[in-house]
Amino acid sequence: MHHGYKRWDESDRRKTMDPDAILSKAGLKPGMTFVDIGCGQGYFALPAARIVGPKGRVYGIDIDEEALGVLGRKAADLGLMIETIAGEGENMVACEGCADVVFFGICLHDFEDPEKVLANALRMLKPGGKLADIDWKKEPMEGGPPLEKRFSEEKALELIEGAGLAVESREDVGGRYYLITARLQRPANDNC
């Protein structure tokens, strides 16, 4: 069980949500720093590590230490570097002003305090950095969390804009998910 509902089959997930395509839409490129909040076993973190390459950096944050252990083993087997951090997104900042992309892969709806998680995401973003949120549509369908647990796309937009990010794009992904990308507009902090 994941946050009260059954984990979906990864092969089914790949039919409707290609991680490489999503990461490309998030603007991830070689040499970048990527923070995956709620990374689980690495559905997005592993392809991100391959994309950023040896000059980039990937942080994977999750409350599930068992999932982080699986992610660490998968990364080692593939020769990829991912720094895993166990803890709640509400209380975690992997780095200050370091991230080119902070990513929420099907998890923003899971946090008790999404505003605090987004505030921490902003602390991690470089000036001009991007936040990407892909999540379940709030529509009846097989799989995923209960409908009452999901955020509508409008609710996610409200939270992201409320955090001070400028929304750049929003789109449908595979008929089951939405993807929102937003950019940090604040000036550079001389202390970072």
pTM over 0.75: yes
Residue 33 gets the label, from left (phi > 0), alpha (psi -120 to 50) or beta, of beta
Q: Return phi, psi of residue 122, to 5°.
A: -60, -40
Reduced to 3 states, what is the DSSP secondary structure of residue 33? Answer: strand
List strand residue ranges (DSSP E) for 38-191, in order. Answer: 57-62, 83-86, 99-105, 125-136, 165-173, 177-184
Q: Is 17 helix (H, G, I), strand (E, B) or coil?
A: coil
Q: Which domains does the chain have, with CATH numbers?
A: 34-53+63-184 (3.40.50.150)
Q: What is the pLDDT of residue 186?
A: 61
In this structure, are residues 179 and 132 in contact, taking their beta carbons and an 8 Å threshold? yes
Distance between CA atoms of 18 and 88, rounded to whole angstroms?
26
CA nearest 35: which of 69, 64, 58?
A: 58
Tokens read off for 41: 């076993």
pLDDT of residue 71: 97
Q: Which pLDDT score is estimated for 86? A: 96
- Which residue reads 């991680």 in tokens? 19
Residues of the chain with pLDDT under 70: 1-15, 186-192
pLDDT in tens, 23-33: 999 999 999 99
